[in-house]
Amino acid sequence: MDDTPIFKCWVCHEVIANPTWDLSRNVQKFGTDIWEGKARETINTLLSQQMFVYDSQECWHLHEPAVASELKLKTTYPPSSPFTPCCRCGTAVDRSLPHVSYAITAMNLQEAPDGWLGEVIDSKEFAVLCRDCEEPDEPAAEAVAEYENQTERTSA
């Protein structure tokens, strides 16, 4: 039996081959860790929910205005900085705290021994929202514990 996932484009309804393009809603926060003795900025994704899948960047661009309208965005594609204006209301978003981010990502999927492996080939942040415009979901307790354990291991 073939377990190859079949994705259909949300816009044109064609079966999607590589790369897949998807719009995801993420709860994330910026942080800092040490890599090879140097501090570096990190983006920790606490929760990710795939919303739409597209067969091409062109189909995403056709759907983009509807998504921006539905999310009531005034701006899109914000700068990646620790403080970014909310794409809906313009209030500064402190990205060191959990916040909602929407991202469009292209990836190639390939079968792996224990499931599927995705190689990201392009990713752009579409929108960032402040807590007043969209409250971030709280990750499950298990995810928080794993994140804290990982943070302890990398800082030790």
Residue range 18-58, pLDDT digits in tens: 898 999 999 999 988 888 999 888 888 999 999 999 999 99
Look at residue 156 in the predicted model and tell me its pLDDT: 52
Q: What are phi and psi of 111, to 5 degrees?
A: -70, 140
Look at residue 123 in the predicted model and tell me its pLDDT: 92
Domain boundaries, the chain: 20-155
Residue range 55-71, pLDDT digits in tens: 999 999 999 999 999 99
Identify which of 3, 45, 44, 53 has the alpha carbon closest to the alpha carbon of residue 23: 53
The label of the residue with tokens 């990750």 reads 139
Stretch 124-132: mean pLDDT: 96
Q: Helices H, strands E: what count in the chain?
A: 2, 6
Q: Distance between CA atoms of 111 and 95, rounded to whole angstroms? A: 34
**Polymer length in residues for the chain:** 156
Look at residue 145 in the predicted model and tell me its pLDDT: 61
Identify which of 133, 120, 50, 125 has the alpha carbon closest to the alpha carbon of residue 86: 133
Look at residue 1 in the predicted model and tell me its pLDDT: 46
